[in-house]
Structure 1
Amino acid sequence: GKVVLIDFWATWCGPCRMTIPHVEAIYEKYKDKGVVVIGINLDEGDVKNVQQFIQAQGMNYLVVRDPNSQVAGLYGVNSIPRFFLIDKNGRIAKMFVGYDPNMEDVLSKEIDALLKE
């Protein structure tokens, strides 16, 4: 099993946009250490707009679309940005809501702890 960071976001969400550089930094820091980062985009509408946004933001981690919020519904997401850290056994270890300027440090500590398990 791998440690997974899931980020629910949308292009129209200001706080989501603010988290992207932090999520990208986590991806770059842990991509070779067995951590998977998945962005789940909740935009409805044109795929091209989302693809252009991803390229413009320099998002190198995996982004999948959930335009009908089916996956978001399974995770009980009713506000974004929302992050889930999944442990090596596939269980939700932590959940974070909203933008935190210190999120990189907070996530790094949590991920480091999960990698030691």
Structure 2
Amino acid sequence: MQTQLKVQQDVKDFLNEFKVKMSIYNVVFRDDRKKNTLSILSLDMLPVERKEILKKLELTDYCEGPVKDTLNGLPPMWVFGKHYKGKEIYIKISIGFENLPVICISFHIAEFAISYPFKN
């Protein structure tokens, strides 16, 4: 079992790599998923705002991961949460494939309360 410090470092490393790669290759949002689209509409959120939220993710927003992606065959997924306009947003992201954009699989209003292991 990984120590808490190791997990924290892994999360920081992932976020750093994710943000750098996003700045180079951009991000693909899975807008084909109905709950993602409905959440964006109900929050009256612009596409640029979603990307800004991803840029601001930090260790304390971490929920779980890495999680193996058995559905899409992507590299491992990581789950985070953020608050926006009084709502908790569930965010699932992947580094994606080499030389291609990062992937945001889920970006929607949380269906359940999110647990944040590194938030005080």
TM (norm. structure 1) is: 0.28
Using CA pairs below 8 Å that are at least 6 residues apart, which structure has the higher relative contact order? Answer: 1
Between structures 1 and 2, the one with greater helix share: 1
